[in-house]
Amino acid sequence: MSIWEFLQTYGARIIDGTLVTAAQFVLATLVAVTAALAAALGKLSRNLAVRGLAVTYIELFRGTSLLVQLYWIFFVLPLFGITLDKFTAGFLSVGLNIGAYGAEIVRGAIQAVPKGQWEAAYALSMSPARRMRRIILPQALVLMLPPWGNLLIELLKGTALVSLISVADLMFQAKQINASTFLSAQAFGTALVVYYLLARFLITPAMRRLERVMAQRLGRA
């Protein structure tokens, strides 16, 4: 079967899978960014309990494998009375896992904002929360965008694991097609190309654009 015939026959399923992957990506990104920001601020907090919680989250999710986390959230949490559907368990696991790495990026960027900026904001009598929100985070954001670009590509690749709990994403469709047709090269080849195209022609350009816009806001461009 030629690749064109293959696409004609299975294109619709590939597209369905790609849309699910895209949805997983977007939702996991939201989870990751939120978790990263909260954990970074937590780790910088003066409150010992808050700091402990943030460190525990970061260590736990960075120190163990994403697949194990996914299985935990999907198969083990129900034993503790928390049952999530597979779609939610999927993007939540991926988002929390990547968020733990993101937390270090956010923390590093916050600490890289020159000390003089804290002091100037302090000298204007700003409260700690306002200093962070109005002065430090906007500047840290510019610093953290390039590493986030890389991390989001990792996140996209990570979403492929949700197929293992039967979320019907791109990888899941490729596996199903392979199982019923044994067209391994076509099925997984197409998946490979689609993942690459998403990363190369959607995520990377979008992040570049965001970097440019943020640089302009700083009056740098």
Partner 1 sequence: MDHGDYPLELPEGDRPMVRFMNVTKRYGSLTVLDNLCLDVAEGEMVTVIGPSGSGKTTVLRMLMTLETINGGIIYVDGKPLTHMERNGRLVPADERHLRKMRSSIGMCFQHFNLFPHMTALQNCMEGPVQVLGLPKAEARARSEELLEMVGMIEKKDQHPSRLSGGQQQRVAIARALAMRPKVMLFDEVTSALDPEVIGEVTNVIRRLVGEHNLTMLMVTHQMGFARDISDRVCFFYRGKIEEQGPPDQLFGNPQRERTQQFLSAVKEAD
Give the binding site for partner 1 (CB under 8 A): 114, 116-117, 119-128, 130, 134-135, 138-139, 142, 217-220
Whose Cβ is closer to partner 1: residue 2's or residue 115's? 115
Q: Which is nearer to partner 1, 134 or 200 (CB)?
A: 134
Shortest distance, position 140 Cβ to partner 1, whole Å: 11
Shortest Å distance, C-beta 117 to partner 1: 6
Tell me how crowded residue 126 is: count the other CB atoms within 10 A of its CB. Answer: 16
Identify which of residues 192 and 221 has a Cβ nearer to partner 1 in the complex.
221
SS3 60: helix
Cα 191 off chain centre by: 20
Comparing CA positions, the residue from 114, 97, 117, 93 lying closest to residue 39 is 97
Nearest distance from C-beta of residue 215 to partner 1, angstroms: 10
Any idea how long the chain is?
A: 221
Provide, rounded to whole angstroms, the least separation between the CB of residue 127 and partner 1: 6
Kindly give the interhelix angle for 184-198 and 137-158, rounded to the nearest 10 degrees. 170
Least distance from partner 1 to the Cβ atom of residue 134, Å: 6
- In a 13 Å sphere around the CA of 188, the CA atoms on its Cβ side amount to 8
Expressed in percent and rounded to 5, the helix, strand and coil fractions of the chain are 85, 0, 15
Structure-token pair, residue 158: 């990570």
Q: Which is nearer to partner 1, 197 or 221 (CB)?
A: 221
122 vs 196 by CB, closer to partner 1? 122
